[in-house]
Structure 1
Amino acid sequence: MKTIGLIGGMSWESSAEYYRLLNELVRERLGGLHSARCVLHSVDFAEIEEFQRAGEWERAGDVLAAAAKGLEAAGADLVLICTNTMHKVADQVAAAVSVPLLHLGDATAGAVRARGIRRVGLLGTAFTMEQDFYRDRLRSHGLEVITPAADDRALVHRVIYEELCLGVVRDESRAAYQEVIARLVAEGAEGVILGCTEIELLIRQEHSPVPVFPTTRLHAEAAVTAALAD
C-alpha cells in the first residue's frame, strides 16, 4: 500500500472527513484490521484565508508547496490538497514535489462523466465558482459547468465560511442550498458538484433531485485506488 500525503486544515472539519473516508475505504477493500497509510500536514486555515481574501495566491501556494515537500520527505507516495479552492495553486504545489499530485477536479470530472452527465451545476466558495481555475479543469474533461446567480453564490460562500468551516450545520442553510440546487436544475443542470469539501457536511443525495457529486468522497476514493494499485 502506498502512503497518501494530505495537505489539510482548510478546514480541519473536512480534513477529518478525509481521514475517516480513507480508512473506511481501505478497510472495505482489504478487510480485517486494514487502515490507510497516510501522513497529514494540517495548516492554520486563518493564515490561508487571509491570503485568499487579499488575493495573495502565490504566498498561499508557498505554504502548501512547503507542506507537500514535508509530506514527500515523510514518505508520501502521492499528495492530495484537501480543499477544492486551493487547487488554484495546484500547479505550484505539484512543481514542488516529485511524487504525483492527485487533482480533485480530475477525480470529480471522472465521476460525473461515468454517470453520463455533461451539464453540471457547481457549488463552492466564491473563488471556486467565479474564477476559471476549477471550472476550466472540469471543462477540459468535456463538461458544461453552470454556476448559481450572484445572490446565490454569496449565500453559498457565506454558509461555507461562517458556518460549515466552524462545524455549524443548520437546517435553514440546508433548505437554502436546496433552493439554490433547484434553480440550477431549472437551468438544465443534470447533476450538482459539491465543489467545497465542507458542503458534504450539509448536503447529501437525498437533498437533491439530481445526482450530487461529493468531492471529498470522490477524492478519497481516487486516492485509495491509487494507493492500492500495483
Structure 2
Amino acid sequence: MRKLGLIGGMSWVSTRGYYEDINRIVQKAKGPTASAPLLIESLDFRPLYRLSTREEWDRAAAILSDSAKRLEAAGAEALVIAANSMHSVYDRVSEAVSIPILHIADCVADAMIADKADKAAILGTRGVMVEEFYRRRLVARDIELLPPEPEIVEAIDRIVYEEVMLGKAKRSSERELRTIITNLEKDGAEAIVLACTELNLIVHTEANVLPIFDGAEIHAEAAARWILADD
C-alpha cells in the first residue's frame, strides 16, 4: 500500500472522521488486521479559524505549505487537506511540494458524475459557498450549482463555526438544516453537496429529501482508493 499524508486539525473532529473512514475501507479491502499507512500532521486550528483578510489567508497558505513539505520529507507519496475551506490555498500548497494533493472538490465531482447528479446546492462555510475556488471545479465538470442565498450562507456559516467545528450539534440546528434542504429542493436542487467536513454531524445522508454528497466521506474514500491503488 502507498503512504498518504493527511494535513488535519481543521478541526480535529473532521480529522478523526477521515482516519476512521480511510481505515475502515482499507480494512475491508485488506483484511481485519490491516490499517492504512498514514502520516498525519494535526495543525493548531486557532491561527486558521474563521479567516477573512488577505494577510490571514497568506499566513494559512504558509502554514499548510510548511506542513505539506514536512509530510513529503517524512515519506508521504500524496497528500490530503482535511478541510474544505483550506482548499482556497490549494494551488499554493500544491506548488510547495512535488507530490500530488487530492482536491476534495474534484473527488466530489467524480462521485456526482458517477451518480448522474448534475444540479446541486452547496452547503458549507461562507467562503466555500460564495467564492469560486470550490464552485468552479464542479461547474467545470458541467455540474449546475444553485446560487448561494445570503440567509442560508449566514445560517450555515454560524452553525459550522459556532457548533460543529467545536464538536457540538444542537437539535435546533439539525431541524434548521432539514428545512433548508427541503426549501432548496423546492428551488430546483436535485442534490446537496456537504462542503464542510463536519456537517455530517447534523445532516444525515440517508434521511433527507435529496441525495447528499458528503465531501469528507467522498474525499476519505478517494484517499483510501489511492492508498490501495498499487495492489
TM-score range, shorter chain: over 0.9
Q: Counterpart amino acid of 2:145?
A: V
Aligned to 2:137: 137
For residue 206 of structure 1, report the CA deviation from its aligned partner. 3.0
Aligned to 1:60: 60
Aligned to 2:157: 157
For residue 147 of structure 1, report the CA deviation from its aligned partner. 4.3
Q: Percent identity?
A: 39
Cα distance in structure 2, aligned partners of 1:111 and 1:204: 18
Query: Which residues of structure 2 form unaligned runs of 5+?
Result: none
Cα deviation, 1:39-79, whole Å, max 9, x if unaligned, reads 111111110126x1334322211100000001111111110
Cα deviation, 1:73-128, whole Å, max 9, x if unaligned, reads 11111100101111011011111111110010000011011111110110000000
For residue 207 of structure 1, report the CA deviation from its aligned partner. 3.2
Report if aligned partners of 1:5, 1:79 keep a CA contact under 8 Å in 2: yes
Cα distance in structure 2, aligned partners of 1:148 and 1:7: 28
Structure 1 residue 100 corresponds to structure 2 residue 100:
yes
Aligned to 2:80: 80
Structure 1 residue 172 corresponds to structure 2 residue 172:
yes
Q: Counterpart amino acid of 1:48?
A: L
Aligned to 2:16: 16
Report if aligned partners of 1:128, 1:134 keep a CA contact under 8 Å in 2: yes
Q: CA RMSD in A?
A: 1.1
Query: Which residues of structure 1 form unaligned runs of 5+?
Result: none
Aligned to 1:125: 125
Number of matched pairs: 229
TM-score (norm 2): 0.96
In structure 2, the residue corresponding to 1:18 is in which secondary structure? helix
Cα distance in structure 1, aligned partners of 2:228 and 2:53: 40
Runs of 4+ in structure 1 deviating by more than 6 angstroms, as ranges, are: none
